[in-house]
Chain A
């Protein structure tokens, strides 16, 4: 009942905070958010899952009972965690607490609603990562959109409505596409499944149970390919993969900073997590046969996203575009189908969540004080806000892949895993990896460039605001994140990487796909 308790705590907190008077809402919300955080910490300590949730592993905190029976399908409440979802649940609870703390300064109106929605968001996020039944999963997936929509639309910046609508339309169309794709598979499986349980579907698909649709017009191969593409696009919007990324900078720039922290930190991972769970777990043979275009998209996302970040003059846009780049590495790691590749991709989800959260939080603190994010509007603020700038520097180097911080660990795993992958014949993945790695130069370029111009040099500021030290509660999230980032980077195995590699192991071995694909089987 741990997962139910976790989701319940968040929902209950949302209710309580909604009815708390505005002046206490921030503190109550923060205090309350520590409960799910503590609970997820407890779950992490007691985590005893082994193997992959979809491929016959032993789950931690698993609960399953049938909910509704619709026609031939049982819809059940089925939740549980494996080594892939556990870290993401922990990430969600940590970032929610820190986002709430970082909202204390900037959020001044309708506070109880704001914090209530944030806790509602947390409940949905935990649900997405814990759900193992498609119906349940999709409910949580869509439920994330609702608080997000309001959080951007009400508390956002000047063009908040445009951004909120764009976010909504984009992601909902994406949901439609992936929904169609997934149900294509469900119908193609016909009688071989009796529920929308994800493990059942995954195992049926991997056992080659997929039949034809429309009276044989769409054969199994075509169906698998179409479903794969539809789900890839649908989830790819969330990641986002170039060219489906343009909602992201708008949403980020207009969202209040604490929401950007959650958006970049957790919401993007819904996309990569789903790609891993659906596309890469359920249809490995299709993924392998499409390895060239997928890896190419990954490389394009990395390099193009980094170049876009280089071209921005708004600090928040710089960080927003760099997410596109970092998420490209995740795709590269996934398609590699090696333990370091898949494990590194998952580790990167957590790592990028923390690092981009840190960067957005830093930009937010600077904005709280200066009321601008334009690189050209300020210079030398390091003198006035040393701690914040120190955290910014730490975050930038974490982003740039400084060793002993989480980003380096994740990216190194991905690079090693992708380099030795054989999914593309003739060591094509080694070339792709080498190309993608150039991202580590560009990322250092734009972050160092931005820091040099806005943080260092002689102090200059034209605004009417007094540039001075940030409030202590603004700095706390930064310090906490830096500590966690260093802990993950220094001890990847003892934190999450061991459980992750355990959970991705069954994917590496390749299952029935192994022999079928001519261009090369799994790795060692």
Chain B
């Protein structure tokens, strides 16, 4: 194994290292300097190095698949359930992203948690380690069951970390909400996983050396049906549905988990509340772990979704709608982290839009750039929050630009990326998402144009809320004493910001689509990378599938041609982003900007209340389920079911006798009674059965 696997042999260590740091911090953290932070930094640093080695290895040779162990197997069961590692272009890329951000978050935590003298730090670092380990294991999972399991562990860790400050009343409530909302999505996901195993007998994603994988089996089944042949023997559909319809049901069920974790409408409500957690945790959750897990899963099993045009359209519409919906809520928020929370929901909407719109590379690209700029923005906000002594209200800030320049320029870089201003990374990836959706919409799937339209409108709001946030936080005059004299931050805050600030600016170079179109010498690195994946797990294959099964083909704006459409798309999204940003500049420039929210009229209340989404969900969970339904069940059970039992036993002679005896308090009599009862029973049956026939005869 060691010989043939080479450096891949060490792949499990990518997840094991942070797991070890979890154990160390948990057991010995309180005796250690920095309470376990160094263990976490070392572990995530190690994971990062190993992940980079894996990328190099995948780049130089081939993808790799290894079996770890058999969870359930043997002769007694119809199919095995296993754990294994799949290292291909997609998973190694994601491993690098996750471990980079986890590493920087650990470093940043020294400034945010240790320097602030928080209690409970060993627990914090233990949970952070477990969080990172779970996410890394999720990313390299080779089958959907293993993915589900670590998906759930990611959910557990975010519950623990959001609720880290358990002594307050807000965080435990927010943690519970995050877990429950995502659990509701995971309910559907789990049915999907169960259904996939029952349908295909395997949950493998595919990869080198994997004989059977469910996306390939699904493809074979669909092809067979299209050609009028018999389905592959390994595939069983349910409820008499055709393969296409049944796979659609399965895909939709799995999508439930995706939408829960990636906070897509209507499962987005947990995410803004999750801001109750420590800010470094928010950075990790939003950029690289919990929320990223959902969309990553869609990318991971894209070969399955690519077969199902309805599902792709649903993904695109959910994404487009969520992008717009969340962006509109972001424009009225007062707290810096709230703005970022809604921007996260919105940005993951774009990733979904890209994946649903047939832009596999675009979706992964935006996932990558977003990971860096969103981690940056959260850590930047964390730096501001340290400076402001944990006051998060932007109306109390202002003028921080000159007092904390490193934070400002890093934050600005992230904001330009978020708003999608050329040449920052977000521009390239968001543009590609919109472009892919547009051309496929113009091609054979006009329905995608609706989703595209929502995406493009959301660009305007994104530009607006981003620069509103930047202006209120950093520009103008300080609006409070805290902002006048902010607490300085140290190297452990500034270095992660500087690194991420640079990355957010330049990481777009990995896929400069419009540039490549003009100057062929500039490569589309990411495109080439993802197109060279293993046989059934690469972009080229997905492109064929979407074309063959979903009828996706690239169209162009009439009269512009391919290149013209590309530049028109880029031009429109840039213009809209600039317009949104300009409006924010116009409204919130100047030393003491006004709120301007009154201009929204009645809409203002609706936006402040987040379209009343929380209200109806809390009503569903608390008032209806817990209050009415559970209360009724309890009354029914106490009154009717148990009441009947008591009524019967009251009038029954036997128990009436027992109950009177109870009141005499002589408990020991019952032993005799019980024994007597048993003996009578046995004898009665003995006589009936003629056991004693020999005796009495």
Instruction: Tell me the A residues contacting B by CB distance below 8 Å.
Output: 70-73, 142, 145-146, 149-150, 153-154, 161-162, 164-166, 168-170, 172, 175-176, 179, 183, 186-187, 242-243, 245-247, 304, 307-308, 310-312, 338-340, 343, 380, 382-383, 393, 397, 400, 402-404, 408-409, 412-413, 415-416, 419-420, 426-427, 430, 433-434, 437-438, 440-442, 444-446, 448-449, 451-452, 455-459, 491-493, 497-498, 501-502, 504-505, 523-524
Q: How far is the CB of A343 from chain B (nearest CB, A)?
A: 7
CA distance in complex: A433, B195 (Å): 10
B residues 171-229 near A (Cβ < 8 Å) are 171-173, 175-176, 179-180, 183-184, 186-187, 190-191, 194-195, 197-198
Give the chain B neighbours of A243 by CB distance below 8 A.
641
Whole-angstrom CA separation of A164 from B187 in the bound complex: 39
- Chain A residues contacting B659 (CB-CB under 8 Å) are 165
B166 and A456 form a contact (CB under 8 A): yes
- B163-174 CB mask vs A (1 if < 8 Å, else 0) is 100111101110
17 contacts between A and B (CB under 8 A): A70-B691, A71-B689, A145-B674, A166-B649, A183-B688, A246-B641, A246-B645, A339-B78, A402-B152, A404-B153, A415-B190, A416-B194, A440-B183, A451-B172, A493-B73, A502-B75, A505-B76
B148 to chain A, nearest CB (A): 7
B658 is an interface residue with CB less than 8 A from chain A: yes
Interchain CB contact under 8 A, B667 and A154: yes
Question: Do B677 and A187 touch (CB < 8 A)?
Answer: no
B31 at the interface (CB under 8 A from A): no
Q: Of A176, A308, A412, A427, which is within 8 A of B634 by CB?
A: A308
The answer to whether A343 and B677 touch across the interface, beta carbons within 8 angstroms, is no
Smallest CB-CB separation from B637: which chain A residue?
A: A308
Chain B residues within 8 Å of A438, by CB: 187
User: B71 and A397: CB pair below 8 A?
Assistant: no
Q: A441-B183, A449-B176 are in contact. Are A492 and B71 (CB under 8 A)?
A: yes
Report if A304-B76 is in contact (Cβ < 8 Å); known contacts: A169-B658, A403-B153.
Answer: no
Chain B 56-95 per-residue mask, 1 if CB under 8 angstroms from chain A, else 0: 0000000000000011111111100000000000000000
Q: Hey, which chain B residues are within 8 Å of A187, CB to CB?
A: 688-689
Cross-chain contact A73 with B691 (CB below 8 angstroms): yes
- Report yes or no: A415 in contact with B194, Cβ–Cβ below 8 A: yes
* Residue of B77, B167, B236 touching A501 (CB-CB under 8 A): B77
- Does the CB pair A448–B198 fall under 8 Å? no
Q: Which residue of B lies closest to A179 (CB)?
A: B681
**In the bound complex, CA of A403 to CA of B186 (Å):** 12
Looking at the complex, which one of B145, B169, B662 makes contact with A165 (CB distance below 8 Å)? B662
Q: How far is the CB of A252 from chain B (nearest CB, A)?
A: 14
Q: Known: A153-B667, A427-B238, A459-B167. Is A169-B198 also a contact (CB below 8 A)?
A: no
Flag if A437 contacts B191 (CB, 8 Å).
yes
Contact B184 A183 (CB under 8 A): no
Q: Does A426 contact B239, Cβ atoms closer than 8 Å?
A: yes
Q: Please measure, in the bound complex, the distance between the C-alpha atom of A168 and the C-alpha atom of B153, giving whole angstroms.
A: 42
Q: Which of B72, B172, B692 contacts A456 (CB 8 A)?
A: B172
Contact A339 B77 (CB under 8 A): yes
Using Cβ atoms and an 8 Å threshold, which residues of chain B touch A162?
662
A71 near B690 with CB under 8 A, answer yes
Decide if B548 is an interface residue (CB 8 Å cutoff): no
Q: Is the CB of A457 within 8 A of B691?
A: no
A161 to B78, CA, bound (A): 49
Please state if A434 and B191 are interface contacts (CB–CB under 8 Å).
Answer: yes
B631: chain A residues within 8 A (beta carbon): 311
Contact B674 A308 (CB under 8 A): no
* Interface of chain A, main secondary structure: helix
Give 1 or 0 for each of B654-691: 1 = CB within 8 Å of chain A CB.
11001100100001001100110110010001101111
What residues of B have a CB within 8 angstroms of the CB of A498 in the complex?
74, 76
Q: Are A343 and B633 in contact (CB under 8 A)?
A: no
Q: B239–A430 contact, CB under 8 A?
A: yes
Chain B: CB-nearest residue to A347: B72
The answer to whether A165 and B655 touch (CB under 8 A), given A146-B671, A310-B630, A498-B74, is yes
Please name the residue on chain A nearest to B652 by beta carbon. Answer: A169
Partner of B198 from A70, A168, A402, A416 at Cβ < 8 Å: A416
Q: Is the beta-carbon distance between B152 and A307 smaller than 8 angstroms?
A: no
CB contacts (< 8 Å) of B176 on chain A: these are 448-449, 451-452
Q: Is B404 an interface residue (CB 8 A)?
A: no
Q: Shortest beta-carbon distance, A54 to chain B, in Å?
A: 17
Stretch at the interface among B263-271, B597-605, B621-629: B621-629
B693 within 8 A of partner (CB): yes
Asked whether any CB of chain A lies closer than 8 Å to the CB of B517, the reply is no
What's the Cα separation between A284 and B73 when bound, in Å?
Answer: 26
How far is B667's CA from A505's CA once the two chains are assembled, in angstroms? 46
B642 on interface, CB distance cutoff 8 Å:
yes
Is the beta-carbon distance between A161 and B662 smaller than 8 angstroms? yes
* Across the A-B interface, the 4 shortest Cβ-Cβ residue pairs: A501-B76, A403-B149, A311-B634, A456-B172
- Bound-state CA distance A458–B163 (Å) is 13
Give the nearest-CB partner of B240 in chain A: A426
Q: Report the Cα distance A523→B168, complex, angstroms.
A: 52
Contacts of A150 in B (CB 8 A): 667, 671
Which residues of A are found within 8 Å of B626, using beta-carbon distances? 310-311, 445-446, 449
Considering residues B76, B145, B156, B159, which has the most beta carbons from chain A within 10 angstroms of its beta carbon?
B76
Tell whether, in the assembled complex, residue A416 and residue B655 are in contact, meaning their CB atoms are under 8 Å apart. no
Q: Report the bound CA distance from A339 to B80 in whole Å.
A: 12
Tell me, in angstroms, the Cα distance from A145 to B674 when the chains sit together: 9
User: Which A residues lie within 8 Å of B677 (CB)?
Assistant: 172
B629 touches A307 (CB 8 A): yes
Bound CA–CA A491/B689 (angstroms): 48
CA distance A39 to B77 in the complex (A): 30
In angstroms, how far is the closest chain A Cβ from the Cβ of B609?
Answer: 23
Q: Which B-chain residue is minimally distant from A145 (CB atoms)? A: B674
Complex interface: chain B residues within 8 A of A403 (CB): 148-150, 152-153
Answer whether residue B559 sits at the interface, using C-beta atoms and an 8 A cutoff.
no
- The answer to whether B689 and A501 touch across the interface, beta carbons within 8 angstroms, is no
Q: Is B694 an interface residue (CB 8 A)?
A: yes
User: Within the assembled complex, what's the spacing in Å between the Cα atoms of A170 and B641?
Assistant: 14
Do A71 and B692 touch across chains, with their CB atoms under 8 A apart?
yes
- Which residues of A have CB within 8 Å of B240? 426
A345 CB, nearest partner CB in chain B, Å: 14
Residue of B nearest to A382 (CB): B166
- Check B74 against A493 for contact (C-beta < 8 Å): yes
Q: Which residues of A contact B674 (CB under 8 A)?
A: 142, 145-146, 149, 168, 172
**Bound Cα distance from A221 to B6, whole angstroms:** 65
Q: Which residues of B contact A408 (CB under 8 A)?
A: 149, 152
Which single residue of chain B is at the shortest CB-CB distance from A404?
B149
Which residues from A are CB-within-8-Å of B675? Answer: 146
B643 to chain A, nearest CB (A): 9
Q: Is A445 within 8 A of B692, CB to CB?
A: no
Task: Output the residue of B71, B171, B626, B692 with the most chain A CB within 10 A.
Answer: B71
Residues of A within 8 A of B179 (CB): 444, 448
Q: Which residue of chain A has its CB nearest to the CB of B241?
A: A427
Contact, CB under 8 Å: B172 / A457? yes
| A498, B168: Cα distance in complex, Å | 46
Contact A153 B670 (CB under 8 A): yes
CB-CB under 8 A for A71 and B693, given A142-B678, A311-B634? yes
User: CA separation between A380 and B167, bound complex, in Å?
Assistant: 6
- Which residues of chain B have C-beta atoms less than 8 A from A71's C-beta? 686, 689-694
Q: How far is the CA of A433 from the CA of B691 in the complex (A)?
A: 45
CA distance A72 to B690 in the complex (A): 8
How many whole Å from B369's CB to the nearest CB in chain A? 31
Interface centre among B172, B186, B626, B677 (most CB of A within 10 A): B172
B78 & A340 in contact (Cβ 8 Å cutoff): yes
Residues of A within 8 A of B691 (CB): 70-73
Contacts of A492 in B (CB 8 A): 71-72
Residues of A within 8 A of B658 (CB): 165, 168-169
Answer whether A307 and B630 are a contact pair too, CB < 8 Å, given A419-B194, A444-B179: yes
State the Cβ distance, A72 to closest chain B Cβ, in Å: 7
Q: How far is the CA of A234 from the CA of B691 in the complex (A)?
A: 24
Smallest Cβ-Cβ distance to B643: which chain A residue:
A246
A310 to chain B, nearest CB (A): 4
